[in-house]
Chains A and B, each alone.
Chain A
Amino acid sequence: MNAGSSPITTAIRPLTRIEGPEIKDLARGAAILGTGGGGDPYVGRLLAEAAVRERGPVEIVQVPDIPDDAVVVSAAMMGAPTVMVEKLPTGTQFAQAVRDLTARLGIVPTHIACIEAGGVNSTTPIVAAAELGLPLIDADGMGRAFPEVQMVLPTLYGHAAAPMSVADEKGNSLMLDTIDNRWAERLARTATVEMGCSVSTAQYVLTGAQLKESYVPGTLSLCVELGQTLVRARAANADPVAAVADVLSGRIVFEGKVVDVERRTQTGFARGTARVAGIGGNQGREAVLRFQNEHLIVEVDRTVETTAPDLIIVLEADTGEPITTEGLRYGARVRIVTAPADPRWHSAAAHALAGPAYFGYDTDPVLFDGIVVSDS
């Protein structure tokens, strides 16, 4: 397996600090990488803005600059996005989860990292880093959003999610030692529900060397770049959707109008399908999106065009504004963009971890450009 950087992160200006104004762009870009899931970026944005306002700017460190013996902890929220917009977190609970974990392990963290660049978890590590006065690494564990703890590249490198801490806003704290990352997901998920479905976690305690090999570098900068791309394209009266596809080295697979959205709860997730009737050059054709929090499959006229782990992004057709699966609504005019995930998501092991079969779909993985991969 190659730890080289993903092609999508080249030629993007690396972040050096998070001071405030860039958070809006970062959150919007994170909603794009969230591929429909990962939660409402608005609350995450406000939390990060408040943390930076009160605690000062957060220093951003690029992956090559991390010492091999650095002690890195990833901070993230776990729970239901719908709960998070109602029971807002306390700013201190993010740092608390990190403090609880490092105190238990008797270690002193040197850096905070982001495990999931897509959605609200792109901004929560900013809050933890600001609170703890630690630098934040410009990287994440997946280069997108996925719903479960084990669905990250570090799992493929044999790195453990646990010891992992789970903290709620009341001051409850839980420490998990698990035999593997799937058990970390299972136990943490149960605790999350009991704690009120919106908790902070600290997980994947790694050395600098381990992080360098297993994380996707540059993804926070990529989020900011994506957010700014939308703003710039609109200001220049250029096509924001095409601009986003360009930044991600992806392609626009379809343009149409959502004509049907069917949702159901199954195996603990909001599963569903959306049908999109073609407009413009796609007149007479139909796309189907299959989602479980995130968009996992896009079909056009019954042919699978792309599946997870590659990115399936639904954008408002004119503004390029990302649309969450919850916000997918009858009548919305959308364009569907597919883009390559980090290449390390395309081994047989990675497909077993977060490919269509894991999510219960009977199809081989299909890359963003429509090429079918057979793992057997």
Chain B
Amino acid sequence: MRIGIDVGGTNTDAVLMDANTVAAAVKRSTSADVTTGIVEALAALQEQRAFSVDDIDAVMIGTTHFINALVEARRLAPTAAVRLGLPATASLPPFVDWPEPLVAAMQGRAYLAHGGHEFDGREISPLDPDELKRHAADIAASGSRSVAISSVFSPINSELELQAQEILQAELGPDVAFSLSHEIGRIGLLERENATIINAALRELATSIVDGLASSVAASGLTAPLFLSQNDGTLMDMEYARRYPVATFASGPTNSMRGAAVLSGLDTCAVVDVGGTTTDVGVLNQGFPREATGEVLVAGVRTNFRMPDVLSIGIGGGSLVRENGALVGPDSVGYRLNTEALVFGGSTLTATDVAVAAGWAEIGDTGRVGHLSQEAADRALDVIATRVADVVERMRTSAAPLPVVAVGGGSVLLPEELPGLGRLHRPENFAVANAIGAAIAQVSGEIDKVYAISEGSRATVIDEARQEAVDRAIAAGAHPGSVEIVDFDEVPIPYLPGNATRIRAKAVGDLALTAVAR
């Protein structure tokens, strides 16, 4: 059996999963120290359905800690960014176009050095060890404790980033953490470098969070291996999480979507997660969230993280209802729903009140909404259904029918059928979809490279790219027999000779639990 835990800003949810069946599910408040909340949730789980620690094969945790730290600009390590690419790239040094307070919060320092590659693999200029040693001296003197290294075209050739790390590490000592851009992002220097810098700034926090998670699980007597969920719905082990905290950023929506898939038994569907303030809509393709392809702004920084493509609208259980039902949201009473909504004795007409008035839900004191006109309630619910249906419609990628799954506490606002989209799937345990998503995660391997495809070599190149993605998934801990390619994309690059083609491939497989040291 597996345990899935979702540590959110408000609640810590835990589920005990027997294969894909929910054996127990609990919800507890998140504690300031994180640990207590997890220990309590695990105790509650044990209470609901007794299990032996030996029955637990793995514990999977999803957390919003790292993205919150960045958004709030707190607990960031003093960080230096070293870029290899001179004489190219000099006009736009690291940290360009960043919000100033965030740079200040990590005492960001930018260094340019020689190195980098051309698109075809030639070096732009050789690495200059003396130049890097001079930078190291300045980094040491300024007190930076974490270093991000980026190099032009490093997704194609990572050699120079590795060499630069060796030189800098020798100067700075083993206590300074290194984050290398080729391990973090894809082509697009600024976006990849930004993600690498963010990762570097989170390294110290990652160590303390990972230790905290490990000790709280250990405190519950569990000895099973511990994993963290990543943005794409796959898993990383604790050692990896210490090094790549940035990979957890969007695990929240991802886990909720994947949890919805398991609960509903659908692996290709739209997932509508209705919360208190917003409704998030994403699309699952073969069990994995469709990713955003463009650049994603995180805390005002442009990145190219692997993030799920999620569209949000301001409709939730706490949304204000006005103009006799014609206007719903986008403002919401939020976490004050339990005091401000009419059914809870408050004085604000919310979407939840309307659902209660229409008889769709029994929440709070139903008598307090008896005075609402049926017409106004119907109108408001109609507005909600139409707008949610419109968002789902926008997220659809083909004319083929796409089943829609509703999760989240606010999904009582939705009708049995969405206009034009058919019957809505409403699985049990929808409130803990996040923790379930964490518990069922898999592992992936990905490549994103530019290949020169000569006459007749296309099939060989594609096979090679797919195999490399598969190999990476296995290296990340996937069971070899279970790995399959879930995403493949081939884009010719204009103006380049030799049919230069950018190929992206992603392979995914089940976690090989036996391969993990116990």
**Contact residues of A with B, CB < 8 Å?**
37, 42-43, 46-47, 50-51, 79-83, 85-92, 127, 147, 169-171, 189, 192-193, 196-197, 257, 259, 263-265, 268-270, 277, 293, 326-327, 329-331, 333
A91 with B495: CB separation less than 8 A = no
A270 with B492: CB separation less than 8 A = yes
- What residues of A have a CB within 8 angstroms of the CB of B294 in the complex? 327
A80 with B118: CB separation less than 8 A = no
Does B310 touch A at the CB level, under 8 Å? Answer: no
- What residues of B have a CB within 8 angstroms of the CB of A333 in the complex? 394
Q: Which of B119, B293, B397 has the most CB of A within 10 A?
A: B119
Q: Which of A43, A80, A171 contacts B495 (CB 8 A)?
A: A80
- What residues of B have a CB within 8 angstroms of the CB of A193 in the complex? 495-497
B397 with A331: CB separation less than 8 A = yes
A197 with B125: CB separation less than 8 A = no
Min C-beta distance of B220 to chain A, whole Å = 43
Nearest B residue (CB) for A49: B97
B88 with A89: CB separation less than 8 A = yes
Q: Which of B97, B153, B492, B499 contacts A87 (CB 8 A)?
A: B153
B188 with A265: CB separation less than 8 A = no
B119 with A83: CB separation less than 8 A = yes
A87 with B89: CB separation less than 8 A = yes
Does B85 touch A at the CB level, under 8 Å? Answer: yes
Given A90-B89, A170-B125, A197-B118, A293:B494 Cβ within 8 A: yes
B494 with A88: CB separation less than 8 A = no
Can you list 29 A-B pairs, Cβ within 8 angstroms, ordered by A? A50-B91, A50-B96, A79-B495, A82-B450, A83-B493, A85-B189, A86-B152, A86-B188, A87-B85, A87-B118, A87-B152, A88-B89, A88-B91, A88-B152, A88-B189, A89-B89, A90-B87, A90-B89, A90-B91, A92-B90, A127-B91, A147-B494, A169-B87, A265-B492, A265-B494, A270-B491, A293-B494, A293-B495, A331-B396
A80 with B496: CB separation less than 8 A = yes
A170 with B124: CB separation less than 8 A = yes
B88 with A90: CB separation less than 8 A = yes
How many angstroms from the CA of A323 to the CA of B92 in the assembled complex? 24
Return the CB mask of B84-124 against A: 1 if under 8 Å, else 0: 01011111100011000000000000000000101100101
Nearest A residue (CB) for B156: A86
- What residues of B have a CB within 8 angstroms of the CB of A90 in the complex? 87-91
- What residues of B have a CB within 8 angstroms of the CB of A196 in the complex? 88, 118-119, 122, 124
Nearest A residue (CB) for B450: A82
- What residues of B have a CB within 8 angstroms of the CB of A50 in the complex? 91-92, 96
- What residues of A have a CB within 8 angstroms of the CB of B395 in the complex? 331
CB within 8 Å of A: which of B391-407?
394-399
- What residues of A have a CB within 8 angstroms of the CB of B490 in the complex? 263
A46 with B96: CB separation less than 8 A = yes
**Contact residues of B with A, CB < 8 Å?**
85, 87-92, 96-97, 116, 118-119, 122, 124-125, 152-153, 187-190, 293-295, 302, 394-399, 450, 490-497, 499-502
Q: Which of A80, A170, A265 has the most CB of B within 10 A?
A: A265
How many angstroms from the CA of A46 to the CA of B189 in the assembled complex? 13
Q: Which of A83, A147, A189, A327 has the most CB of B within 10 A?
A: A83
A169 with B88: CB separation less than 8 A = yes
A171 with B87: CB separation less than 8 A = yes
Given A264-B492, A265-B499, A329:B293 Cβ within 8 A: yes
Min C-beta distance of A168 to chain B, whole Å = 8
B501 with A265: CB separation less than 8 A = yes
- What residues of A have a CB within 8 angstroms of the CB of B122 in the complex? 196
Min C-beta distance of B160 to chain A, whole Å = 13
Q: Which of B399, B492, B500 contacts A277 (CB 8 A)?
A: B399
Min C-beta distance of B497 to chain A, whole Å = 6
Nearest A residue (CB) for B398: A259
Q: Which of A80, A88, A265 contacts B119 (CB 8 A)?
A: A80
Min C-beta distance of B396 to chain A, whole Å = 7
Q: Which of A264, A270, A330 has the most CB of B within 10 A?
A: A270
Min C-beta distance of B452 to chain A, whole Å = 11
Q: Which of A171, A269, A329 contacts B494 (CB 8 A)?
A: A269
How many angstroms from the CA of A263 to the CA of B503 in the assembled complex? 12
B88 with A88: CB separation less than 8 A = yes
Q: Which of A87, A189, A192 contacts B189 (CB 8 A)?
A: A87
Min C-beta distance of A277 to chain B, whole Å = 6
Min C-beta distance of A156 to chain B, whole Å = 24
- What residues of A have a CB within 8 angstroms of the CB of B497 in the complex? 193, 268
- What residues of A have a CB within 8 angstroms of the CB of B491 in the complex? 263, 270, 326
Nearest A residue (CB) for B293: A329
How many angstroms from the CA of A357 to the CA of B443 in the assembled complex? 50
Nearest B residue (CB) for A264: B492
How many angstroms from the CA of A66 to the CA of B78 in the assembled complex? 52
How many angstroms from the CA of A37 to the CA of B450 in the assembled complex? 20
Nearest A residue (CB) for B501: A265
How many angstroms from the CA of A171 to the CA of B398 in the assembled complex? 50
Min C-beta distance of A227 to chain B, whole Å = 17
Min C-beta distance of B455 to chain A, whole Å = 12
Q: Which of B87, B119, B398, B502 contacts A197 (CB 8 A)?
A: B119
How many angstroms from the CA of A270 to the CA of B92 in the assembled complex? 28
B119 with A86: CB separation less than 8 A = yes
Q: Which of A82, A265, A330, A331 contacts B187 (CB 8 A)?
A: A82
How many angstroms from the CA of A97 to the CA of B238 in the assembled complex? 51
Q: Which of B88, B91, B494, B495 contacts A51 (CB 8 A)?
A: B91
How many angstroms from the CA of A43 to the CA of B450 in the assembled complex? 20
How many angstroms from the CA of A192 to the CA of B496 in the assembled complex? 10
- What residues of B have a CB within 8 angstroms of the CB of A192 in the complex? 495
Given A331-B395, A331-B396, A43:B492 Cβ within 8 A: no
Q: Which of A87, A127, A263 contacts B116 (CB 8 A)?
A: A87
Min C-beta distance of A232 to chain B, whole Å = 21
Min C-beta distance of B290 to chain A, whole Å = 8
- What residues of B have a CB within 8 angstroms of the CB of A88 in the complex? 85, 88-89, 91-92, 152, 189-190
- What residues of B have a CB within 8 angstroms of the CB of A171 in the complex? 87
How many angstroms from the CA of A47 to the CA of B97 in the assembled complex? 11
A330 with B397: CB separation less than 8 A = yes
How many angstroms from the CA of A170 to the CA of B90 in the assembled complex? 11
How many angstroms from the CA of A196 to the CA of B490 in the assembled complex? 22
How many angstroms from the CA of A80 to the CA of B187 in the assembled complex? 13
- What residues of A have a CB within 8 angstroms of the CB of B187 in the complex? 82, 85-86
How many angstroms from the CA of A331 to the CA of B495 in the assembled complex? 27
Nearest A residue (CB) for B453: A265
- What residues of B have a CB within 8 angstroms of the CB of A82 in the complex? 119, 187, 450, 493-494, 496, 502
A91 with B116: CB separation less than 8 A = no
- What residues of B have a CB within 8 angstroms of the CB of A264 in the complex? 492
How many angstroms from the CA of A259 to the CA of B122 in the assembled complex? 38
How many angstroms from the CA of A88 to the CA of B398 in the assembled complex? 37
- What residues of A have a CB within 8 angstroms of the CB of B302 in the complex? 42
A43 with B92: CB separation less than 8 A = yes
- What residues of B have a CB within 8 angstroms of the CB of A81 in the complex? 494-495
Min C-beta distance of B291 to chain A, whole Å = 11
